[in-house]
Amino acid sequence: MANILVVTEHLKGEFQDITFEMLGKAKEIAQSTGGSCSAMVFGSMSGQTDQMGAADTVITAEVGDDYNPEAYAAAVKSVVSANSPDLIMIGSTSMGIDIANPVSTALDIPTVSFCADIVAAGGGFTCTSQMYGGKMNVVSSVDGALISMVLAGSFNADTGRVSGSPAVEASAVEAGAGKVRFKQLIEPEAADVDITQSDILVAVGRGIGSKDDIEVAEELAEALEADIACSRPIVDAGWMSKSHQVGKSGMKVKPKVYIALGISGAPEHIEGMKATSTIIAINTDKNAPIFDVAHYGMTEDLFDVVEELLEELD
């Protein structure tokens, strides 16, 4: 019997997709073992418990709406101590990193990071973690209680996006007088392009080689009446602006066609584009994770392929 606690995430009054991904998986594990599934919500999100229909119980923590890592971690620690769940599911996100580590250390509960799959096994759990940008899977078996940090995009969010009326319990936790104070949320300036509205995207990754070579992808995008996008390394290198980035720390897109040029397909990138109707991947590395989600793929030099495509389009 596995009793599971899901630590939810929200931003600007909305639960994030990772919340529903974890809820769906938690419900699946709980049902298979005869256990229960609980969801922990923070601040005024307690007024939206009707979205937590996949959970048997919702535990509320009055620690404010504005995310405070110190207060949220203390609240989770208190709830875990009081309820002793067998499995605590936390997103492998910036918020999750803030919370999981102090809770793990304080309560001496092992943590498995980058979890792409979790199954109940015997008296514990077996987790499959994706390492090195998804090129290696590591299987970890833990007996007893466990904190799993779940990679966003690993599970179907729709399975956890269920309406209902779960039981609601208020935790005794209140925002304490910690050292961390929320000052303000700084949002990026309006972008020159909204790739979330594009029907066709031509996206480039490190395999493009250099900033000057992006021009080849731009020519293809122009010929297809598409927009140009990229993976995070391109933005980190300063070759393209953040408004073009696809992935966990960029934009989530759902075009009709997504052409990935020289993109390896790290889990963080796939999270942002996996809902695309048709994914076409071009990468010389036949083991690139992008081919796991691509509908069509070629292990050819991207410049040769793009050149032939441009000739055909002309």
The span from the CA of 142 to the CA of 25, in Å, is 18
The answer to whether position 190 is within a domain reads no
The answer to whether position 187 is within a domain reads no
Q: Give how many domains the chain has, as a whole number.
A: 2
Tell me: do 233 and 295 sit in the same domain. Answer: yes
The answer to whether position 213 is within a domain reads yes
CATH number of the structural domain spanning residue 28:
3.40.50.620
Q: What are phi and psi of 139, to 5 degrees?
A: -100, 125
Tell me: do 207 and 170 sit in the same domain. Answer: no
The span from the CA of 29 to the CA of 227, in Å, is 41
Tell me: do 301 and 206 sit in the same domain. Answer: yes
Tell me: do 137 and 270 sit in the same domain. Answer: no
Show pLDDT as tens, one digit a residue, over the chain (314 residues). 789 999 999 988 999 989 999 999 999 999 999 999 999 999 999 999 999 999 999 999 988 888 889 999 999 999 999 999 999 999 998 899 999 999 999 999 999 999 989 999 888 999 999 887 667 889 999 998 999 999 887 888 899 999 999 999 998 776 566 788 888 887 766 666 789 889 999 999 999 999 999 999 999 999 999 999 999 999 999 999 888 999 887 888 999 999 999 999 988 899 889 889 999 999 999 999 999 999 999 999 999 999 999 999 88
What is residue 180's predicted lDDT score, i.e. its pLDDT?
Answer: 86
Which residues are within 8 A (CB) of 79 and not within 5 positions of it... i.e. 6 or more apart? 5, 40, 59, 61, 171, 173
Task: Evaluate whether 263 touches 207 at the Cβ level (below 8 Å).
Answer: yes
Tell me: do 272 and 165 sit in the same domain. Answer: no
The span from the CA of 164 to the CA of 55, in Å, is 9
Tell me: do 170 and 200 sit in the same domain. Answer: no
The answer to whether position 180 is within a domain reads no
Q: Which domain holds residue 38?
A: 4-174
Domain-ending residue, one of 174, 207, 234: 174
Tell me: do 151 and 55 sit in the same domain. Answer: yes
Tell me: do 15 and 158 sit in the same domain. Answer: yes
Tell me: do 220 and 274 sit in the same domain. Answer: yes
Tell me: do 205 and 148 sit in the same domain. Answer: no
Predicted TM-score (pTM) of the model is: 0.75
What is residue 188's predicted lDDT score, i.e. its pLDDT?
Answer: 65
CATH number of the structural domain spanning residue 272:
3.40.50.1220
Tell me: do 78 and 160 sit in the same domain. Answer: yes
Nearest to 52 by CA among 97, 88, 7: 7
The answer to whether position 115 is within a domain reads yes
Tell me: do 119 and 57 sit in the same domain. Answer: yes
